[in-house]
């Protein structure tokens, strides 16, 4: 029963210029993990592979794939005002989504849980649109992949990034087989994520948004998170839990106004693992989303991975 780490230095070649979502983020994370020799040697280290177009197209239109490919081939530097790209970004984005699927393979084999340290992040990417630093929706692709390749009937996506994952919500809004839980600062970018957005049609009730005002205390934030997990567990015992692991909800992030500390991420990670132990043979896949404070990001992720490996 081990924890797998899926990472590739190719993720550093997604060059975004002067931008908060830049390669230094992964450098400080990997450095913090490597400095913890006990942890680093306990992890099962894996390289990702590129995701197939078929796996992407379970979540995104062919038009979006074609658009990103074409922009990168022409070396256009932006998808939109927020979302910078370079010539390699199409291939890097396919490797990022592929890393999430490799993590799924691992947890359905004999690895207990897995973390994919990737960029670009994914949770803002909708079925038709790249936005908010995101090209393809890594966690959504991983959820569908688990359903198709491993018969996971119920996948729970837990998104604790400071921003609402509008893309993930949109992709599964009508789908009762994937539950989307998000705690996020609200009102805030991208504008979605009110408590009244609960899913539609057969998917009504399998979207749960916990909007939090700027400056919400860490205790109140964590209590809301715990209560949400309890409520979900009664009606939706998951076969797999995927964490949209954004660390811009930590206190001091330049892009966020929430107050979580590293100890809160430790506690939240353990709560998710306990739920996975009860329902999904411990299967948790964590996929990096945001987190932009380079002074604290490495230690926060180290805390999260230490909990996963505990």
User: Where does this chain touch Zn ion (CB under 5 A) — which range of 91-99, 150-158, 241-249, 267-275?
Assistant: 241-249
As a 3-state breakdown, the chain gives helix, strand, coil percent values, each rounded to 5, of: 40, 15, 45
Give the shortest CB-108-to-Zn ion separation in angstroms: 28
DSSP string, 60-77: S-HHHHHHHHHHHHTT-S
Nearer to Zn ion, 164 or 283 (CB): 164
What is the SS3 string spanning 178-202?
EEEEEEEECCCCCCCCCCCCCCCHH
Asked if 25 interacts with Zn ion (CB under 5 A), we say no
The answer to whether 183 and 210 are in contact (CB under 8 A) is yes
The yes-or-no answer on residue 124 being catalytic is: yes
Asked if 248 interacts with Zn ion (CB under 5 A), we say yes
Asked if 119 interacts with Zn ion (CB under 5 A), we say no
* Helices 24-35 & 297-308 angle (0-180, nearest 10): 50
Query: What is the rounded distance in angstroms from the CA atom of residue 18 to the CA atom of residue 278?
Result: 44
Nearer to Zn ion, 248 or 264 (CB): 248
Q: Residue number with the shortest CB distance to Zn ion?
A: 290
Give the shortest CB-177-to-Zn ion separation in angstroms: 25
Asked if 20 interacts with Zn ion (CB under 5 A), we say no
Site for Zn ion in 139-168 (CB under 5 A): 161, 163
Nearer to Zn ion, 238 or 291 (CB): 291
Give the shortest CB-53-to-Zn ion separation in angstroms: 27
User: Where does this chain touch Zn ion (CB under 5 A) — which range of 38-46, 69-77, 269-277, 283-291?
Assistant: 283-291
Options 203, 211, 290, 298; binder of Zn ion; rule CB under 5 A: 290
Kind of pairing between the strands at 155-159 and 284-288: unpaired
Give the shortest CB-81-to-Zn ion separation in angstroms: 16
Sequence-distant (6+) residues with CB within 8 A of 134 are: 83, 120, 121, 122, 123, 124, 125, 167
Asked if 21 interacts with Zn ion (CB under 5 A), we say no
Angle at 34 between CA 31 and CA 39, to 5 degrees: 135
Query: What is the rounded distance in angstroms from the CA atom of residue 24 to the CA atom of residue 169?
Result: 29
Per annotation, catalytic residue among 14, 60, 123, 124: 124
Catalog residues that contact Zn ion under the rule CB under 5 A: 161, 163, 246, 248, 290
What residues act catalytically? 124
């Amino acid at each position: 029963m081990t924890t797998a780490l899926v990472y590739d230095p190719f993720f550093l070649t997604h060059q975004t210029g002067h931008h908060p979502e830049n390669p230094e983020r992964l450098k400080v994370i990997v450095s913090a993990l490597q400095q913890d020799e006990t942890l680093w040697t306990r992890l099962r280290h894996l390289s990702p592979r590129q995701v197939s177009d078929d796996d992407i197209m379970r979540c995104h239109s062919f038009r979006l794939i074609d658009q990103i490919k074409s922009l990168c081939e022409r070396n256009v530097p932006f998808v939109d005002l927020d979302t910078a790209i370079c010539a390699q970004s199409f291939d890097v984005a396919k490797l990022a989504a592929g890393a999430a699927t490799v993590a799924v393979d691992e947890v359905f084999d004999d690895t207990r849980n897995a973390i994919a340290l990737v960029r670009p992040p994914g949770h803002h990417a909708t079925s038709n649109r790249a936005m908010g630093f995101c090209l393809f929706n890594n966690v959504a692709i991983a959820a569908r992949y688990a359903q198709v390749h491993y018969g996971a009937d119920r996948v729970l996506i837990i998104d604790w990034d400071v921003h609402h994952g509008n893309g993930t919500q949109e992709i599964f809004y009508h789908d009762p087989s994937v539950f989307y839980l998000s705690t996020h600062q609200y009102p805030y970018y991208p504008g979605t994520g009110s408590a009244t957005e609960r899913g539609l049609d057969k998917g009504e009730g399998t979207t749960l948004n916990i909007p939090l005002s700027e400056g919400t205390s860490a205790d109140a934030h964590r209590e809301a998170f715990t209560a949400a997990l309890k409520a979900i567990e009664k009606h939706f015992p998951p076969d797999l839990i995927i964490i949209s692991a954004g660390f811009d909800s930590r206190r001091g992030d330049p892009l966020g106004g929430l107050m979580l500390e590293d100890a809160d991420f430790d506690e939240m990670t353990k709560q998710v693992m306990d739920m996975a132990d009860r329902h999904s043979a411990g299967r948790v896949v964590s996929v990096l989303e945001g987190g932009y404070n380079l002074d604290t990001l490495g230690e926060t992720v180290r805390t999260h991975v230490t909990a996963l490996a505990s």
